[in-house]
Amino acid sequence: MHISVISCPNGMGHFYRLIDIAKVLSKNNKIYFFCSKKQMNKLKCKLKNIDFIPILKNLNIEEKKIDFLINFYNQDLTKIKKINISKIIISDNLINKIYLKKKFILISNFYWGKNFQLKSKEYKIYQDLEKKFLKNNTILQNRYFGHSYNSNFKKKLINFTGSKIKSNNKIKKKKIFFFFRKKMKIFPIFKFLQSKYEIYSNKPLKKYDIKYHDLNMGLHQFIFLLARPGFGSISDSVKFQIPILSYVEKNETKEIIINNKLIKKYKIGISLNKNTIGKLLNINHNLSEYKEYLNNLNKFRFDGEVDIVDYVKKI
């Protein structure tokens, strides 16, 4: 069976999340994976039975995101042969009018129409399109970190999709991996962290004396993952069994704010602020608390393969 997978071209989180799903489905199906050139260039290896087609424009959510979303919704995807011959289309946060006619799965942890509160004519148009779509489709959401925002639509919950990395749950060296985002400000607490931990990042930040670590090498050796609590970062925290140090910047989206609350609720990490410095100072003297984070991470299932395969078979 032919399946088209369409990744939201906003960063790498959407891309890697869909790759996990595409890998599972490619065992018995031919996958056409639509993404941006920037996303595809990050991929270091070929994947069997998955054809990557980098034809999507990059989406910068800080610039004209609503124009992009409306244009994508109205694009005639029937002109793309590989999409047209696919029995099923799977997308992540992107909706198109063809989805109302084809067998379609939306895998989403947030919805643009609920995530940003913008007051414009174009934004209202997109909200109306999204409501119409959600009303007529079933949405797959992660059972732990999927947010419905009280929307009235058909919903099915799945687990994290992928494979959990085996961890011996021993206390690692005092190293922190910092997931750096473009235009992010280095916050004051950073100096404190550097006085107690070695800090590595996905980008070399010589100005701040932060060393580079290639994400393709994994994150096994780090004691904490310092990141904005997007779903991709939380997945890495669960996958590699590393407690997350989450930070929330000003004017954050609802998704990030809710995720930060859930991290505290599930106790899988520390919400980073001036009140949590004491915890980080004493972590080596209070190993029982750190082990509690690890035990809580272990409680999360990371085997959504069964859910997604069963769901596709029923279509």
* Concatenated DSSP letters of 269-285: EEE-SGGGHHHHHSTTT
Mean pLDDT of 230-255: 87
Confidence tier at 94 by pLDDT (50, 70, 90): very high
Q: Is residue 168 part of a domain?
A: no
Residues 119 and 16 in one domain: yes
Tell me how many domains the chain contains.
Answer: 2
In a domain, 165, yes or no: no
Whether residue 285 has pLDDT greater than 60: no
10 assigned to some structural domain: yes
Query: What range defines the domain where residue 213 resides?
Result: 175-298
Look at residue 279 in the predicted model and tell me its pLDDT: 65
Write out the two tokens for 26. Answer: 């490619």
Are 245 and 149 in a shared domain?
Answer: no
pTM for this predicted structure = 0.86
**Confidence (pLDDT) at 4:** 96
Residues 138 and 266 both lie in one domain: no
Taking 60 as the threshold, does the pLDDT of residue 37 lie above it?
yes
In which band, very low, low, confident or very high, does the pLDDT at 277 lie, cut at 50, 70 and 90? Answer: low
**Do 154 and 255 belong together in one domain?**
no
Q: Which two tokens stand for residue 54?
A: 């980098």
Residue pair 36/11 in contact by the 8 Å Cβ criterion: no
Alpha carbons within 13 angstroms on the beta-carbon side of residue 219 total 27
> 221 and 174 in contact (C-beta within 8 Å)?
no
pLDDT: is 270 or 51 the higher one? 51
> Residues 20, 75: one domain?
yes
What is the per-residue pLDDT for 40?
92
**Domain co-membership, 36 together with 140:** yes
Average pLDDT of 284-306?
A: 84
* 100 occurs within a structural domain: yes
Q: According to the model, what pLDDT value does residue 306 have?
A: 85
Answer whether residue 212 is part of any domain: yes
Q: Is there a single domain that holds both residue 188 and residue 238?
A: yes
Looking at the chain, list the stretches that DSSP marks H as alpha helix, in order from N- to C-terminal side.
13-25, 37-41, 65-74, 81-84, 112-115, 121-135, 189-196, 231-240, 254-266, 277-281, 287-298, 305-314
* Residue 169 falls inside a structural domain: no
- For 4, the token pair is 């088209």
At 188 the pLDDT is 66
Most confidently modeled range among 24-38, 99-113, 143-157: 24-38
Same structural domain for residues 241 and 309?
no
245 in any annotated domain: yes
Q: Are 296 and 267 in contact (CB under 8 A)?
A: yes
Are both 269 and 147 inside the same structural domain?
Answer: no
Cβ–Cβ under 8 Å, residues 213 and 201: yes
Position with higher pLDDT, 127 vs 190: 127
For residues 65-85, average pLDDT = 92
On whether both 138 and 49 belong to a single domain, the answer is: yes
What span, in angstroms and rounded, lies between the C-alpha atoms of 115 and 106?
16
pLDDT reported for residue 265: 93
Residues 207 and 143 in one domain: no
Could you tell me the CA-to-CA distances from 252 to 229, 249, 314 in Å, in that order?
11, 6, 38
CATH code assigned at 107 = 3.40.50.2000
- The mean of the pLDDT values for the chain is 85
Helix axes 65-74, 121-135, angle to 10 degrees: 50
